[in-house]
Amino acid sequence: MTSNSAYPCAHEWIISLTQQEDEKQLDLILITALQTILFGCQLGVYISKFINEGLAPQQIYFGHDAIVLNQEQSLEYLNKVKKSKLHLHETPENSNVAIPVYHFGKVIGFVIAKGAVVGDLAKITVAIHVLNIYANHLYLLYRSQLDPLTELLNRQTFDLKLLEMITEQGYKKRRADYKEQRMWFFAMLDIDFFKSVNDNFGHMIGDEVLLLIARIIKNHFRSEDYIFRYGGEEFAILFQCQQIAFAADMLEKLREKVAQFNFPQVQHVTVSIGFTPLLQFEMVPSLVQKADQALYFSKSNGRDRVSNFTDIDPHTLLKHQYGHQEPELF
């Protein structure tokens, strides 16, 4: 039985899924389709948005009847569906089915359905087809958010994510493995004297330096944090810490890792970093300006250092106009 014969509107879901350029709308269409296909069932929908088998999938359906799992439970279900195409579980009290979400053979999530659907393989088959289309398009959207050289998130994604962090639920989100409340920080990082790297060693070596520093940054932070190539030799980081002192220490350790790394041909490269706490409902330009001013302060005071915007004398900051074009000194 095909999905179209079982559900005449299935082709409309597929068309809608493949037309989306917005991830939230993509999720919404998926949830609507699953609610229709698996009508009468209680649902839990968990997806790894980083298209990564090793990460615990995150809940994307938050209806009043949603099946809510903690990180340990979601990883347990993920491992169950990896072992078999479907995981069926029946008790005298209830029955449920866990449906894997595949992307090119990798299991990147699952759907739990509790109810009479366990015995209806036709409905489950339609759900699997829709989930496959969703996963493929999610991957395309994910790739469109990446910088092609470093494979970090790109500038366009930065603007959207920062706005989301400030104005929406992302601001309040805790890391899954920490009980204490944490706060978001925003850092900007710039490679010192990067123009001289290109001038002395060529742009191919310059690209290699960018790629290696991107990897150092990515390996230093957690998968739940957001790392962007902001433009040229500049990077932006959204990350969580319990307090400012911890954030400063984390960035200082990152600076040390770069300074101690032996880059091919170039050997020694340093970075300057500026950061600021991320305040809810703060305007995006204001937040970027604060981190940029802290970065400029690092640049103006010897480079190869980390500066916290809240520690800088306001009179010093007045000397720095946002969007500065001062040239590097070689």
Q: Do 162 and 101 fall within a single domain? A: no
SS3 of 272, please? strand
Residue of 253, 255, 251 lying closest to 269 (CA atoms): 255
Q: Do 252 and 118 fall within a single domain? A: no
Task: State yes or no: pLDDT of 250 exceeds 70.
Answer: yes
Within a domain: 325: no
Give the span between the Cα atoms of 271 and 252, in whole angstroms.
10
Within a domain: 134: yes
Q: Do 204 and 129 fall within a single domain? A: no
Which of 53, 76, 90, 233 is the catalytic position? Answer: 233
Q: Do 201 and 127 fall within a single domain? A: no
Q: How many structural domains compose the chain?
A: 2
Q: Which domain holds residue 129?
A: 3-144
pLDDT one-digit tens code per residue, 27-48: 999 999 999 988 888 999 999 8
Distances (CA, A) of 303 to 152, 270, 297: 24, 8, 9
Q: Do 132 and 159 fall within a single domain? A: no
Q: Domain with 214 in it: what CATH number?
A: 3.30.70.270
Q: Do 16 and 57 fall within a single domain? A: yes
Given 123, 144, 165, the domain boundary residue is 144
pLDDT one-digit tens code per residue, 148-188: 999 999 998 898 888 877 776 555 554 444 445 678 999 99
Position 175: which residue type? Answer: R
233 is catalytic: yes
Q: How confident is the model at residue 52 (pLDDT cuts 50, 70, 90)?
A: low
Give the span between the Cα atoms of 286 and 309, in whole angstroms.
12
Query: In this structure, what is the dihedral angle of CA atoms 153, 155, 158, 163, given to the nearest 10 degrees?
Result: -160
Q: How confident is the model at residue 105 (pLDDT cuts 50, 70, 90)?
A: confident
Question: Is-contact 139 51, C-beta < 8 A?
Answer: yes
Q: Domain with 15 in it: what CATH number?
A: 3.30.450.40
Give the span between the Cα atoms of 134 and 17, in whole angstroms.
6
pLDDT one-digit tens code per residue, 177-194: 444 567 899 999 999 999
Task: State yes or no: pLDDT of 202 exceeds 60.
Answer: yes
